[in-house]
Structure 1
């Protein structure tokens, strides 16, 4: 960007390139106690998954020990982790939810 001042001098300003904020993946971790149906309900409620997508993620968690629920900016990912953990504890389930930088 070029700016011409009243005294005739010209100033150029470099456009700053803003990096997009880092994104975070949110995962559910398998345990031997949380019912599969509860995991499906969590995925539908907090991650807006339809029943089929929620079931597929739940099966991945069950088979592989970990399944990704979505990718979000840090604040949203952190909030989702806290909401899931709070809901699971209130329901008496040890379901674990975590986030890591994508």
Structure 2
């Protein structure tokens, strides 16, 4: 005896690529250039030469992009960097913005 099994086609699941978010650093008159470079190297894993370029963007243009990440990673990096700045007494500002 032969049994035929009829299956319904599975619903196609659309998986969307997560949005990217940029971490923006802002210039201020108190946070040192050395500290900004250190944050870029330690927290954002930038090479020294790239960190210096980003720091100069922040210094000359008023802001610069530290990197582009998924939201959770961007928020974690901002939190870490701002905690480090607070420990040193710097009013360093970073934000997370949709890329």
Same fold, TM-score > 0.5, yes or no: yes
Structure with greater proportional strand content: 1
The structure with higher relative contact order (CA 8 Å, sep 6+) is 2
Q: Distance in 2 between matches of 1:43 and 1:8?
A: 59
Give the 5 Å matches for 1:5-20. 8-20=5-17
Number of equivalences: 97
Unaligned runs of 5+ in 1: 1-5
Within 5 Å, give how 1:3-82 maps onto structure 2.
8-82=5-79
Question: Which ranges in structure 2 are unaligned for 5 or more consecutive residues?
Answer: none
Structure 1 runs (4+) deviating above 4 angstroms are none
1:7 is displaced (CA, Å) by: 5.5
Output the aligned Cα RMSD.
Answer: 1.3
The TM-score, its normalising length taken from structure 2, stands at: 0.90
Describe the superposition over 1:36-95 as per-residue Cα deviations: whole angstroms up to 9, x where unpaired.
Answer: 111111100001111100000000001111111111111111111110111001001111
TM-score by length of structure 1 reads 0.88
